Structure 1
Amino acid sequence: MHSPTSRFMSRTPRLLTSLLLALALNLAGASFTAAAETNWWDAKWPTRKKIDIDTSGKGVAIAEPIGTTAVLVRLHEGVFSFMSAKEDGSDLRFIADDHKTELKHHVEKWDSLLNEAYVWVQVPDLKPASATSIWLYYGNTEAGAPEAAKETYEANTTLVYHFADAAKAGTDSSPTGANAEGTPPPAAGSLIGGGLRVFGQSVIKVPAPPLPEWAPGAPLTVSVWIKPSALQPNALILSRREAANAFILGLDNGIPFVELNKQRSSVGAPIAAGGWHHVAAVADAGTITVYLDGKSYGALTAAMPLLKEPVEIDKDSSPAAASFVGYAGELDELQIAKTARPAGFIHFAAVNQGTSADAAKLITLGEDEASDHKEEGEIMKHLSLITDISKDLTFDGWVVIFLCTVLAVVGWIIAVGKIMYLNTIEKASAEFMKRWEKISSDLTAIDTEDNESIKNIGGTMSSKMQKLMRQSPLYQLYHLGADEISSRMKSFRQVTFNPQEKKEAKIMGLSGRSIQAIKATLHGGMVREVQKLNGKLVFLTIGIAGGPYLGLLGTVIGVMITFAVIAKSGEVEVNSIAPGIAGALLATVAGLAVAIPALFIYSYLSSRIKDVVSNMETFIDEFVTKMAEHYKE
């Protein structure tokens, strides 16, 4: 079986090529794409990123009208540099593709520790079956806080609960400001940042006013993300009443429904518990359409009556709701609008706010672009200075730096592979010692003629565990010792020849010479394991010893060439000497950059290898002692 180190080394040529290419790109300064100043919104923001919203067939095909909507932009470490933004994200600005119009937005959650953020951006008149681009600008440390969250939603939106505010989970982010009463603390790790975990035991009220009444026959849209913990009959998610009139959004054994004055919408296939689903109800022109995950699911022919009492979530306090139970599970992103949202709007929200593969196709974030007016940080200044110095480096110096780079890359590949190997050894040895403790009190369990019994430690280990154990040097030593005991005990077995009786073996003892021979075999196995552990570490020592000398060679050659050029020209000026000397010293820097990390890594690996060797020596002593005790001469 190949060790992790050998497998890692087999890929060395490809890794070496890739890393050298990456190094060349860095030296060329290709970290940012330069942006044209004519299209830059504000030079105070040094960095921008393009965001594409694709509702065509190339992204997620949405043919129905969408309109103005709040788009969820998820930011994480893979697509956004949190180190370049302010700690609270207040420097974020979203600009339309005309590079002039600032789009309203608000941050639902910003976690600079976990490098995670959820931002809502109002995109006016989003078109179906087309691609729309907006721009995210950030990096202005002097930027003030953006506009209030309520500005993100247009006037028809009457309620938005993100359930993310730790102080008050029921904070309304819409212009209405109808904060819920009786909301529990938000639950972390929900669909979009924080969410609400409910158990169907208490009523969460949305006060009315400020929540406006639902007028007779007026259009309405209610949407919410649900994750039921269990499927219940007639589970109530949301309700609103006025006298005998009642609007109920619920879940009946996994079937989302709308019930209006005891008339229920048509049913579809039930959903399963434990998964997130987007449920929406749209009332328009005497018909209420139920949507599930952005697609039409059911319908009810009925006009909306007058409803102006408070909206109740999770449970209905009215005696008329006795046939309903409270919903148990999680809720997120509850929205109510006094307009009938088009089918494209519902479809877009279900995909954009969800976590399916289509969400990544619908919204894509481009690479960072830098403004020409960007002020360089200290690190960038140093890198720029080193790049300028490298322009005066001679060909000999470049050869030396290339060789140092090869040493560094090979050294790091060896180091990573060796650390992986040592981690595997440590895990395998820990598992082996657990099983060794069980059989060390009776070694006769492994002295049978059955080689499989030796491999599985007397029947205490599965074949899957054997595969892991083979990585442990302790297991290899045990296997050597067990084989030696088994082979010597074969000649001492006395077996009855009566076919009517079971064969019984009488184990004889081992002589002192046999024990010494087995001990010598174990020490020989340990030497081979040590050689395996130390294998390829020579490349690190070459980097430690050879890196500085290579760098010094490049520096000496560079200085020599510099003085030879000065001697020929006859001009002795600082401006003519300094660039050449600085370029020559760059080779020494490269050599030290190879040697210093290699020295630290080598010391770390040597310490870990020493621990493994000590464990092997201790195990050999314990094995020989147990063997002498069980097989007395």
Structure 2
Amino acid sequence: MRRILFLLFTALSALLPNLAQAAWWQPDWAYRKPITIDAGPQAAAIGGDAGRTPVLVRLHTGNFSFEGVSDTGADLRFVAADDKTVLNHQIEQFDPLLGMALVWVDMPALSEAAPQQIWMYYGNPKAPASGNGQLSFDPDYTLVYHFAETGAPARDTTAYGNHAQTTTVTAEGTVIGRGAMLGNAPLMLPASPSLAVAAGGSFTFSVWVRPETLGASQVVYSRRDGAGELTLGIDQGVPFVQVNGQRSKPGQPIQAGQWSHLAVTADGQAVNLLVGGRTAATLAVALPALNTPAAVGAAADGQALAPFVGAIDEVRISKVARRDALMLADAVSQGAESRLTVFGPDEQQAGKSHFGYILAAMPLDAWIVVAILGLMMVVSWAIMIGKGRSYGAMSRANAAFMGYFRETAGAPLDSLARGNKVPAEVQADSSLWRLYEVAVDEMRRRQARGYDLNAVSVATIGAIRAAMDGVMVRENERMSKRMNWLSTTIEGAPYVGLFGTVIGIMLVFVVAAMAGAVDINSVAPGMAAALLCTAAGLGVAIPALFGYNWLASRSDAIGADMAVFVDEFSTRLAEEQGEGRGQMLRGA
């Protein structure tokens, strides 16, 4: 019956995951992870339809284990909810050693109407790299700088190839990966046909900025063509847009040392300034024709404005006026606290338990703690099994010896020691036999010295008892050997597990802070992996506690049997020797 139940359980465990798992995009990919894009009021709250949007997917050890994925992320694939439509993506940064990755995913239609689920597939070592920024950003983007390069001019991700004309200082740890430091020299953009703006044309410029100080009329973006001018700047912490000398009214201020998203959109009738994805000011003018090079971080020729001093990131230019919902989606999803993406648990094609996902999320320090606890468990179980078998054999041998001992009630006490009446296996395992043997040896030694054993004195009985007590002490020490390891395991294993949990939780919060993600789905896997250390510590300590108590009771019972046997032997010795008994009475 047990074999049948085991086979049924094995079959169900193999079948149920496959039944629960719906369609799989391609069998060559071993893993997938659900990602929910929620732009609704309870999440990103973008307030409308953003249309086609490049969504930033931040991966870190809090929401992704980086186990089974290629070292370069080449096997990453993003598939729509139908598990058929492949979405374009671009990898800006992928570092499994640090446990961080930045991936831009092309969402065909982003709306607040309902959450959308996509799948991230990985785990195919033969898959070629497929990330492509030219496909991930729609053709209306004419310039996109991620600043992923170091020591080289910023490269344009789009197909237009509008690479930067100057090299800037790289800024690490910006709002999205790497950025650029401005202040000494501007970032010059090319005067290419794709960046030209016709009179009354449409245009969008967006950028993340972190000013070091707040001064007067600092220029973030500037372009001047003859009398035509377009400037985005910050005046004493208040962003402004200026067209042909006409400046917008003061709006929402920004703070020094903090990242803020700024954008300018023009639709041919008005120019809008957006701060944090929301409209802060509007100029009822149209853009002039602009065909000259543009500068980021400094004023164009002929402008008496101060340069911008600080860091920038994710510079984008479009030849259309982007929707307000898209600008708000950029601002809320690219910042440190993205509310747009929610990550689900990883799934394995062959089926994988929840416990397996926890193991996959465990960092190196947790594995070290679990390894130590595993060693403690192996040693403690070896001791418990060894002691249990030893105590069992000793109890059975003692019971058998007592049977032989009581059968010789009318015979001399040393009769069992003559003629091999006690089997060798009983002699080897019985602690009572060893007590009996030392007592008989004491009797024979006294007989060899000329003592009359038919006249046993109180002193002789005391000496024999003392010899038996010495053997009993050594037998108790033998039984208690290595029991201190069990007590150490009981007390120490929970603390070792707790230590691993504390370290794991610290790392989870540090990584979450570095990655800028604080939602429950990003920290839950790491927290679960950290708590597994405490569970492992308790899993080692609890069986050791039960085993220790059981072995202690068995040891006490054997010790009691030995104490009873010493008394019984002494009593028979006194009773069987008449004179000795009389001497004991006179001595008393």
User: Once the two structures are superposed, what CA deviation does each residue of 1:165-210 show, in whole Å capped at 9, x if it has no partner?
Assistant: 22535111122111102122421111100011111x3132111216
The residue number in structure 1 matching 2:311 is: 330
Q: Are residues 1:349 and 2:330 paired? A: yes
Out of 181, 206, 217, which is 1:197 matched to?
A: 181
Q: Match of 1:57, as an amino acid?
A: P
The residue number in structure 2 matching 1:291 is: 274
The residue number in structure 2 matching 1:148 is: 132
1:297-312 equivalences in 2 (<5 Å)? 297-312=280-295
Change (3 A) 1:210 1:109: farther
The residue number in structure 1 matching 2:200 is: 217
In structure 1, C-alpha distance between the alignment counterparts of 2:223 and 2:340, rounded to whole Å:
34
Conserved? CA contact 2:146–2:178, under 8 Å: yes
In structure 2, C-alpha distance between the alignment counterparts of 1:414 and 1:159, rounded to whole Å:
55
Q: Match of 2:232, as an amino acid?
A: L
The residue number in structure 1 matching 2:252 is: 269
Change (3 A) 1:373 1:78: closer
Q: 1:57 Cα shift?
A: 2.4
User: Once the two structures are superposed, what CA deviation does each residue of 1:606-628 show, in whole Å capped at 9, x if it has no partner?
Assistant: xxxxxxxxxxxxxxxxxxxxxxx
In structure 1, C-alpha distance between the alignment counterparts of 2:351 and 2:251, rounded to whole Å:
58
Q: Which segments of 5 or more consecutive residues in structure 2 lack a partner in the other structure?
A: 1-11, 361-383, 389-484, 503-536, 552-588
User: SS of the counterpart of 1:222?
Assistant: strand
User: SS of the counterpart of 2:154?
Assistant: coil
In structure 1, C-alpha distance between the alignment counterparts of 2:33 and 2:158, rounded to whole Å:
27
User: SS of the counterpart of 1:66?
Assistant: strand
Q: Are residues 1:370 and 2:356 paired? A: no
In structure 2, C-alpha distance between the alignment counterparts of 1:79 and 1:420, rounded to whole Å:
18
> Structure 1 residues 169-178 or 411-420, which shifts more?
411-420
Q: Match of 1:150, as an amino acid?
A: Q
Q: 1:547 Cα shift?
A: 9.4
Q: Which segments of 5 or more consecutive residues in structure 1 lack a partner in the other structure?
A: 1-27, 381-395, 422-538, 554-633
In structure 2, C-alpha distance between the alignment counterparts of 1:415 and 1:373, rounded to whole Å:
32
Conserved? CA contact 1:203–1:317, under 8 Å: no
Conserved? CA contact 2:229–2:243, under 8 Å: yes
The residue number in structure 1 matching 2:221 is: 238
In structure 2, C-alpha distance between the alignment counterparts of 1:345 and 1:406, rounded to whole Å:
63
Q: 1:58 Cα shift?
A: 2.8
Out of 50, 53, 71, which is 1:69 matched to?
A: 53
Conserved? CA contact 1:240–1:310, under 8 Å: yes
Change (3 A) 1:78 1:147: closer
Greater than 6 Å deviation, 4+ residue runs: 404-407, 417-421, 542-550
The residue number in structure 2 matching 1:226 is: 209
In structure 2, C-alpha distance between the alignment counterparts of 1:61 and 1:548, rounded to whole Å:
55
In structure 2, C-alpha distance between the alignment counterparts of 1:241 and 1:545, rounded to whole Å:
78
The residue number in structure 2 matching 1:106 is: 90
Conserved? CA contact 2:490–2:544, under 8 Å: no
Change (3 A) 1:172 1:57: same
The residue number in structure 2 matching 1:413 is: 494
Change (3 A) 1:100 1:409: farther
Q: Are residues 1:208 and 2:191 paired? A: yes
Q: 1:417 Cα shift?
A: 6.7
1:114-513 equivalences in 2 (<5 Å)? 114-199=98-183, 201-209=184-192, 211-318=194-301, 320-321=302-303, 323-356=304-337, 359=338, 361-372=339-350, 411-415=492-496
User: Once the two structures are superposed, what CA deviation does each residue of 1:283-311 show, in whole Å capped at 9, x if it has no partner?
Assistant: 11411111110111011111011101111
Conserved? CA contact 2:491–2:541, under 8 Å: no
* TM-align CA RMSD: 3.7
The residue number in structure 1 matching 2:566 is: none
Q: 1:408 Cα shift?
A: 5.8
Q: 1:61 Cα shift?
A: 2.1
Change (3 A) 1:213 1:87: same
Conserved? CA contact 1:257–1:265, under 8 Å: yes
In structure 2, C-alpha distance between the alignment counterparts of 1:115 and 1:196, rounded to whole Å:
23
User: SS of the counterpart of 1:367?
Assistant: coil
Change (3 A) 1:286 1:87: same
Conserved? CA contact 1:191–1:354, under 8 Å: yes
Q: Match of 1:236, as an amino acid?
A: V
Conserved? CA contact 1:178–1:210, under 8 Å: no
User: Once the two structures are superposed, what CA deviation does each residue of 1:58-103 show, in whole Å capped at 9, x if it has no partner?
Assistant: 3222222200010000000011121221101111000011111100
Q: 1:420 Cα shift?
A: 12
> Structure 1 residues 50-59 or 287-296, which shifts more?
50-59
Change (3 A) 1:86 1:547: farther
Conserved? CA contact 1:186–1:194, under 8 Å: yes
Conserved? CA contact 1:34–1:369, under 8 Å: no
The residue number in structure 2 matching 1:487 is: none
Q: 1:128 Cα shift?
A: 2.3
In structure 2, C-alpha distance between the alignment counterparts of 1:35 and 1:280, rounded to whole Å:
49
Q: Match of 2:492, as an amino acid?
A: G
Q: 1:546 Cα shift?
A: 6.7
Conserved? CA contact 1:33–1:369, under 8 Å: no
The residue number in structure 2 matching 1:559 is: none
Change (3 A) 1:109 1:409: farther
Q: 1:211 Cα shift?
A: 4.0
The residue number in structure 2 matching 1:82 is: 66
User: SS of the counterpart of 1:63?
Assistant: coil
Conserved? CA contact 2:230–2:244, under 8 Å: yes
User: SS of the counterpart of 1:193?
Assistant: coil
User: SS of the counterpart of 1:55?
Assistant: coil
Instruction: Indicate the percent of aligned positions where both proteins have the same amino acid.
Output: 35
Conserved? CA contact 1:94–1:121, under 8 Å: yes
User: SS of the counterpart of 1:344?
Assistant: helix
Conserved? CA contact 1:169–1:183, under 8 Å: yes
User: SS of the counterpart of 1:345?
Assistant: helix
Greater Rg over alpha carbons, structure: 2
Conserved? CA contact 1:33–1:368, under 8 Å: no
In structure 2, C-alpha distance between the alignment counterparts of 1:58 and 1:418, rounded to whole Å:
37
> Structure 1 residues 342-351 or 184-193, which shifts more?
184-193
Conserved? CA contact 2:140–2:319, under 8 Å: yes
Q: 1:118 Cα shift?
A: 0.5
User: Once the two structures are superposed, what CA deviation does each residue of 1:238-292 show, in whole Å capped at 9, x if it has no partner?
Assistant: 1112111111111111111111110111211322211000011111141111111
